[in-house]
Amino acid sequence: MDTFSRITGMVFGLAIVILGSCIPVTPAPTATAKAKPTQDATPLSSRVSLTAVSMREEGASPKYIITGQLPRLAGSEDDRVADFNNKAEKMMQEEIQYFRENVLAHMTSTPITSGSSFDAQYALVYQNNGIWALKFTFSGYADGAAHPFHYSLTLNYDLEQGKTLSLDDLFAADTAYLKTISSFCIAELSRRDIGFYGGFEQGAAPVEENYRNWNITRDGILITFDEYQVAPYAAGPQTVVVPYSELQSLINLNGPLVGR
């Protein structure tokens, strides 16, 4: 079962039948047609706020603790808000389930150290013109391991359109945007003292999987590389902001970056 319940309801109207009487009555005046209610012209993003829902789960055999903060939009029952909340919850729950099946399932009932753990957090990276860009960070520890692990996932959501954005949505068709982004990231990573040219070059190659974690920001596209992807564990995860000035000629003029 999901940690956070989803409650849906249906409201049924009641029909009241008024029986006519034999006493003659004066005909009622013709009713004036009511104007149809107008839709709220206020952008949906201006009517909602981002809240955090905390969760905590513990177990003794094997010993473990799972904690997290789930992002949730509040202030509207619009279907687009529900879709955002469902996607954010699903993203977190899938990672927690992965931890259960691939870490906890292999732990012994007697802990080696202090037990296993998993924590899920998020940060709002950007919000403007209906765009909500969130970055999830996950950290965990398998009881007895040499060190903890960390990784990221991202969610870029157009609330006005009610859809998750892909990197393709940002750029014009048939442009080599991935090669441009990759070239910029490689140049930036090569200037850092992180051991990038120690066998990690393929982690920044222009392939879609390498650039799965991205966020729209005010200054450019934020790329997040998880630990071990472009540097050894000791160097930690790496981030690169690709400025919009580097991408200007590639941007989809009808896409979400226009008017950011």
Rounded CA gap, 227 and 233, in Å? 5
Q: Which residues are CB-contacts of 105 (< 8 A; sequence separation ≥ 6)?
A: none
Q: Which pLDDT score is estimated for 260?
A: 73
Provide φ and ψ at 57, rounded to 5°. -140, 135
Q: Which pLDDT score is estimated for 12?
A: 30
257: left (phi over 0), alpha (psi -120 to 50) or beta: alpha
Provide φ and ψ at 157, rounded to 5°. -125, 130
Q: Which residues are CB-contacts of 102 (< 8 A; sequence separation ≥ 6)?
A: none
Which CATH superfamily includes the segment(s) 167-260? Heat-shock cognate protein, ATPase (3.90.640.20)
Q: For 34-45, what is each residue's pLDDT tens digit? A: 444 445 689 999
Q: Which pLDDT score is estimated for 23?
A: 34
Residue pair 204/182 in contact by the 8 Å Cβ criterion? yes
Q: Which pLDDT score is estimated for 49?
A: 98
Residue pair 214/225 in contact by the 8 Å Cβ criterion? no
- Assign 3-state DSSP to the chain and report helix, strand, coil percentages, each to 5: 25, 30, 45
The strands making up 131-141's β-sheet, listed across from edge to edge, are 49-60, 63-74, 116-128, 131-141, 149-158, 163-164
pLDDT above 60: residue 8: no
pLDDT confidence band for 7 (50 / 70 / 90): very low
Q: For 102-156, what is each residue's pLDDT tens digit? A: 999 999 999 999 999 999 999 999 999 999 999 999 999 999 999 999 999 999 9
The percentage of residues in the chain with a pLDDT greater than 70, rounded to a whole number, is: 85
Rounded CA gap, 215 and 212, in Å? 10
pLDDT above 80: residue 66: yes
Q: Which stretches of the chain are assigned E, i.e. beta strand?
A: 49-60, 63-74, 116-128, 131-141, 149-158, 163-164, 214-216, 220-225, 238-243
Residue among 45, 93, 90, 50 at smallest CA distance from 72? 50
- Each domain of the chain, given as residue ranges in start order, spans 45-165, 167-260
**Secondary element (H or E) of residue 94:** helix 79-102
Query: Residue 199, SS3?
Result: coil
Q: Torsion angle, CA of 246/249/250/256, rounded to 10 degrees?
A: 90
Q: Which pLDDT score is estimated for 259?
A: 75
- Find the distance separating the first CA and the last CA of the chain, reported in whole Å: 38
Q: Which residues are CB-contacts of 256 (< 8 A; sequence separation ≥ 6)?
A: 129, 131, 158, 165, 169, 170, 216
The percentage of residues in the chain with a pLDDT greater than 90, rounded to a whole number, is: 82
Domain 45-165 has what CATH class?
A: alpha beta
